[in-house]
Structure 1
Amino acid sequence: MPENITSENLLNNIMETLAEGVHKQKSGSFFEEEISNPVVCKLNRLFGRQEPVHKVLGGGKSADVLLWRNKKISAGVIGGATALWFIFEWLNYNFLPLVCFGMALGMLGQFLWSKASGFTNRSSSEIPKIQVPEEWFVNIAVTVGREVNRTLRFLQKIACGGNLKEFVLVVSGLVVSAMIGTWCNFLTVIYIGFVAAHTLPVLYEKYEDEVDGFVENLLGSMTHHYKKIDARVLSKMPTRKYWGKKHE
């Protein structure tokens, strides 16, 4: 039968564990261990990554845009997304009116072009025809479906893989995303995710050693605290069977 545990003893154990953790963090033991052994920092990449960031992101043109290989294209993509977000969010435009206004302007341009061709003796066949290739829609659908399936496979792999560090990081990211979603509307969440996708990978690629070392230290510190609290508090708490015997 486990010893009697009072609320005062539990509080004292928790405070002692946290105090020891703070003292170790101030002394720099975790960071000194990481600095003294740089090989560990290189091996323990985020999410167990073994390949370069560019290859992890697909290694194609999309990866070039995300990692700012061509600064003009990447800046244009971010600028276009920012302009759309500003139009819909701050100017209170809706998607349908914007599409209708755009089509009306396009029809007006076509009308003026056709009338001007009569005065300049040009044939109507010279009027540029606006047409979206059907392959674009097929490629967009295939790309979206492939990315959705890859995301689902990744989440299932993290959930069933048994790696606690990866599981905690992914679940924490989903919780943070859910919290952001309660503060902002759906369009703003998409814009934040779009900007993050075009800024975080390039920053991580530039400072990957520092980020991997920080995450490794943070996870090590969390694991250390959890083991101490489990040994001093959680393992000593009465089980359901013990409480049943006590009430009897």
Structure 2
Amino acid sequence: MDQTTAVAGTSLIVGEIAWDVVLWRRGRADVSAFLLATTVSSWLLFFGFGGACYTLLSLASTVLLLLLTVLFLWAKAARLLNRPEPPVPHIRVSRQAIDQVAALLHSGLNTLFSAFHDISLGKDSSLFCQVFLSLWIISILASLTDFPTFCYTCIVALLTIPALYQKYQECVDRYIRFAYMNLQMYEVVYERFSMKCFVRVRDWVIEVLKDP
């Protein structure tokens, strides 16, 4: 029971932090800006400028090679010159952090498999419609571009659209209501036009059938 409560509390905290990053609020704007800049610059580096100059593995290897070389030479020179060694922190991952990540992953996978089981057995029609619509939209959007660009676009959209909507919510809602009213008006006009066409075609068919 305590582990379940801890997992739920951790999930709530992670969710709040994620929403703060997405909406650029509560002091998370720096993190949001960093993620957005990293996403755009990495796409330009890997896929822009007329083609991919690097791959993710080659870039990571090159950066790590340069970093280790600089630190190694710095440490050797510091020992020879009696200077302070490079301030490299001793990083260790606690067992508690690993357990929390594993518990979150376990909970998320169980929720996903449970939803898949309910949809497969036809138990939740509403969930099926939501998943079907989401996968259909993703399929259409993904067919317009390659998978890495699609992923980068999703990240950029996630870091910009919700924040912009929250900032200009009144203006966006006003335009959405206006567009919805116009759509309803055009729908009524289309229904009337379709009914007139149907009546004319029906009368024409009846006249043709009456002729000997």
> Does the residue aligned with 1:93 lie in a helix, a strand or coil?
coil
Match of 1:210 in 2: 173
Letter in 2 for 1:73: V
- Report matched runs for 1:26-45 at 5 Å: none
Instruction: Give the 3 Å change call, closer, same or farther, for CA 57–175 of structure 1 in structure 2.
Output: farther
Match of 1:100 in 2: 61
CA separation in 2, counterparts of 1:58 and 1:204? Answer: 22
Per-residue CA deviation, residues 115-139 of structure 1 (Å, 9 max, x unaligned), is: 2112322476x66256463666666
Match of 1:76 in 2: 34
Gaps of 5+ in 1: 1-55, 233-248
1:63 aligns with 2:19: yes
- Report matched runs for 1:96-135 at 5 Å: 96-122=57-83, 128=88, 131=91, 133=93
Cα RMSD (Å): 4.6
Gaps of 5+ in 2: 1-11, 196-212
Letter in 2 for 1:60: E
Name the % identity: 22
- Report matched runs for 1:1-248 at 5 Å: 60-69=16-25, 70=27, 71-90=29-48, 91-122=52-83, 128=88, 131=91, 133=93, 143=104, 160-162=124-126, 167=129, 171-206=132-167, 207=169, 210=173, 214=177, 217=180, 221=184
Instruction: Give the 3 Å change call, closer, same or farther, for CA 186–162 of structure 1 in structure 2.
Output: closer
Q: Aligned pair count?
A: 168
CA separation in 2, counterparts of 1:215 and 1:188? Answer: 33
Higher relative contact order (CA 8 A, sep 6+): 1
